[in-house]
């Protein structure tokens, strides 16, 4: 259909100040946090360039959206609802069964929310 499109969605956890240790004076390591944030922004920009180029090369009506969320799965669900998505296509990190059981699986979470159909594409390069 002419109005159909693909949105490449990247949900990320923003670096939290609590992840950094306080220095000897007890102050917040703002420079270290800013560095981590800049690194994250650079990675997101590269993702946007790569995915947008691939979408355009395939003649897709595509967009790129990146949002922070405390929990990745909840961020995906919220974005899908906000965009009135008809389908979620997502990849996997390639975790083994034990890791998935201990850490949980974002794809399992998204599948079981039932907001829209979900297609999960296995990781083609699990290394």
* Residues 54 and 79 occupy one common structural domain: no
Residues 6+ apart with CB under 8 A from 109: 73, 74
* Residues 54 and 75 occupy one common structural domain: no
* Residues 91 and 127 occupy one common structural domain: yes
Angle at 83 between CA 57 and CA 40, to 5 degrees: 65
Residue 116 in domain: yes
Residue 97 sits in a domain whose CATH number is: 3.40.50.620
Q: Which domain holds residue 76?
A: 69-127
Q: How far, rounded to the nearest angstrom, does the alpha carbon of residue 110 sit from its chain's CA centroid?
A: 12
**pLDDT, tens digit, for every residue of 69-106?**
989 999 999 999 999 999 999 987 766 666 556 546 88
* pLDDT > 70: percent of the chain: 77
What pLDDT does residue 122 have?
Answer: 80
Nearest in space to 89 (alpha carbons), one of 11, 2, 1, 9: 9
* Residues 61 and 77 occupy one common structural domain: no
Residue 2 in domain: no
What pLDDT does residue 27 have?
Answer: 64
pTM, two decimal places: 0.76
Q: Is 52 exposed, middle or buried (0-12, 13-18, 19+ CB in 10 A)?
A: middle
């Amino acid at each position: 259909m002419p109005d159909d499109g693909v949105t490449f969605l990247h949900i990320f956890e923003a670096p939290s100040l609590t992840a950094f240790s306080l220095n000897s004076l007890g102050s917040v390591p703002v420079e270290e946090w800013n560095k981590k944030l800049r690194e994250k922004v650079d990675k997101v920009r590269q993702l946007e360039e790569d995915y947008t180029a691939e979408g355009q090369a395939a003649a897709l009506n595509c967009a790129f959206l990146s949002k922070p969320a405390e929990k990745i799965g909840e961020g995906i669900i919220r974005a899908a609802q906000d965009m009135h998505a008809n389908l979620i296509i997502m990849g996997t990190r390639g975790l083994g069964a034990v890791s998935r059981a201990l850490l949980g699986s974002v794809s399992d979470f998204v599948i079981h929310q039932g907001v829209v159909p979900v297609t999960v594409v296995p990781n083609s390069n699990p290394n």
